[in-house]
Amino acid sequence: MISKCPHCKKDIKLSDAHKTKLKAAYSKLTPDKSIKFKCPVCKKNIELKGGKGADPAKKAPTKEAAPTPKKQAEKPKAEKPKAKDESVPKPVNPPPDPPKAPDITWLESGSMDEKSVIEDVPTAVIMMPEGKAKEIVSKVMAEDMNYQLFKPKDVTEILDSMRFKDFEAMVFHPDFEGKPLNESELHNHIRNLPMSKRRYMHYTLIGPDFNTLYDLEALACSANLVINDKNVGRFSIIIKKGMADYKELFDPFIKFLKAHGKR
């Protein structure tokens, strides 16, 4: 056994227990093996190779050869993609061409045709006979209320438009159709609209027999607001008051419906 460290040349002082373990381990070494332990002083590794004290008859245990794994079933090789056959006929119905970009020449000129519609801007329909009252109402709805206007030439045009588009506001004077209100085709159409559409439209009636801002009369006429002809000059403040009342009444209900996935 070694008594001095080959590195620091100091005496190796081991306890009896350590000496016993070291001797036992050393005695089992074969000539081609060694053991290592650290010097208690310099902490460097000291290597003891198998030699005279080791039993050369004892060979280091060899690892058993791992069983040869069974050959896995060979996966079929992926076929190389065939070259495109130029002789393959083209489909009978080729996909349609993509839509053309929108015409925005009106943007450069700063003007837009009266019939053009900007979908994301709310639209108000003005159905009144020509005159001063219609001019007042149109100006207020466009400039004060920020609506784009739709002025149909007759009842047929507005009824056709309502089949494909929802309008946020409608102002109707019975003289536009030339019939009493209870005989009006347009008014009866609006009265019979399903609530999923009607509750999102503010409907104003103007005429000589209405009492301005009379909610009970508006309710009886299936309208949101009624205005007498003589009060049209103050249409701006009247429509703002009427729409504010409308939102206060219907907004909580509409939010509740939307929260439950309904319209």
Query: What CATH code is carried by the domain that includes residue 240?
Result: 3.40.50.2300
User: Which residues, other chains included, contact 236 with Cβ-Cβ below 8 Å and sequence gap of 6+?
Assistant: 140, 144
User: 91 lies in a domain?
Assistant: no
Q: Are strands 148-150 and 123-127 parallel, antiparallel or unpaired?
A: parallel
Strands 45-49 and 34-38: antiparallel
- The parent domain of residue 54 ranges over 1-58
Task: Give the largest Cα separation in the chain, rounded.
Answer: 131
Q: In this structure, are 52 and 168 located in the same domain?
A: no
pLDDT at 33: 75
* Torsion angle in degrees (nearest 10) through CA of 11, 12, 14, 18: -160
The answer to whether residue 63 is domain-embedded is no
The verdict on residue 98 lying in a domain is no
Q: Do 201 and 130 sit in the same domain of this protein?
A: yes
CA dihedral sign, ordered 42, 47, 53, 58? positive
Assess whether 255 and 144 both reside in one domain.
yes
| Number of domains the chain contains | 2
| Residue 123 and residue 247 share a domain | yes
Residues 137 and 244 in one domain: yes
- The whole-number mean pLDDT for each consecutive block of 10 residues of the chain, a chain of 263 residues, reads 75 74 76 75 76 45 50 61 62 69 64 53 92 95 92 93 89 94 93 84 94 91 93 93 77 65 62
Q: Within a domain: residue 188?
A: yes
Strand partners, 205: 172, 226
- How many whole angstroms separate alpha carbon 238 and alpha carbon 176? 21
As to burial, measured by CB atoms within 10 angstroms (0-12 exposed, 13-18 middle, 19+ buried), residue 170 is buried
Domain presence at residue 205: yes
Same domain, 132 and 233: yes
User: Terminus-to-terminus CA distance in the chain, angstroms?
Assistant: 96
77 part of a folded domain: no
Question: Do 149 and 33 share a structural domain?
Answer: no
Mark which of 15, 40, 58 sits at the end of a domain. 58
Spatial contact of 53 and 27, defined as CB atoms under 8 Å apart: yes
**Do 48 and 130 belong to one domain?**
no
What is the spatial distance between Cα 64 and Cα 55, in angstroms, rounded to a whole number? 22
Burial of 261 (0-12, 13-18, 19+ CB in 10 A): exposed
Q: 172 near 178, Cβ under 8 Å?
A: no
The residue out of 58, 79, 105 marking a domain boundary is: 58
Q: Where in 108-228 does DSSP place strands (E)?
A: 123-127, 148-150, 169-172, 202-207, 225-228
**Same domain as 174, residue 46:** no
Residue 107: inside a domain: no
Last residue of a domain, one of 32, 58, 84: 58
Q: Is residue 110 situated within a structural domain?
A: no
